[in-house]
Structure 1
Amino acid sequence: MSFKDANGHCHSNKCHVTESKYLARFVATQGPIIPPPERVLSFGSLRGDTVTDTTPVMTPVPFSVAGPLSKVTVSPTGNELVVSESGVYQVTLSINAIAFAAPDPGQNYLTASITVNGAPIFTQGLAVFNITSRNSSTFVVQAALNAGDSVGASATSDDPIFGYLNRSLTILQLN
């Protein structure tokens, strides 16, 4: 039996001189230590799981649980996230519509919108989305926000028995 040590030296009379050319040697070295980023970006979330009825006018979506939060606070109403610094943010609203025992394409739908300072995030109406009965939907937008802006959600339906539950609102600063 023969073997070569880490330096390629033969420890038997059966080693050949040419074998040392074909031995792979790996040397592990420690890579550079990268310091953590100096700046922590903002993030926050709100969620709720109670059944909430809708009205024919856009009404703020209530939330019951806040957090986690970093450099984002919750508004006094508890239904909006307030950003502490200006930047580009990603805002996500997820909401489940409930009304009927089974989905029916002929039935009304829930209309929801992400809001900034109480108004739709985009004024052209592009921030409004519809959810049919017993379905859920997630809406994601990126927008430039200013320090102090309050981000929330509103919902409405023409159908008096329409409601929603299991909703969440998250915000993440991208830069």
Structure 2
Amino acid sequence: MATNIVLQGLPPYVYALINHHKIAKDIWDKVKLLMQGTSLSKQERECKLYDEFDKFSSVKGETLHQYYLRFAQLIIDINIIQMTMQPVQVNNMFLNSLSPEWGKFVTDVKLAKDLHTSNYDQLYAYLEQHEVHANEARLMRERFPEPLTLVSNYHQPPSHFNNYHSQYTTP
């Protein structure tokens, strides 16, 4: 009876590997060995997820929504295997991994929100309101990769300014 109870609680792949054993000790030894393998794979999974989390970053051309969905899936995977992370750690990763055009808005969020009590869903909702402006910043950055080029092209005085200016200045 005890053997049946133990067998019913096993994952199907473990049960399939031990169901032919008749002696309880053999069953128990095999279960221990197989479940230890499960534990190791959980550790490997944790390591892989920590690595994915540490290396998470935006992908060129992705929208804020796509970025949010990829990040949310990573956090769901982390939660499934019951890894614990502090909200401030998750929120900082979410904000700091955004592409450069989000810099001003990330600073605004950090000033406006408490990263210890907020969650990345709230941060996404806040940032989503500014996506049009972030896209404009991205387009400007693509058009003028050098900041000085942008300034020189953007603040060019009209050509008639030089004529007017030279008439009223003393040599």
TM-score (norm: length of structure 1): 0.19
Q: Compare the two structures and name the one with the higher helix fraction.
A: 2
- Relative contact order (alpha carbons < 8 A, sep ≥ 6): 1 or 2 greater? 1
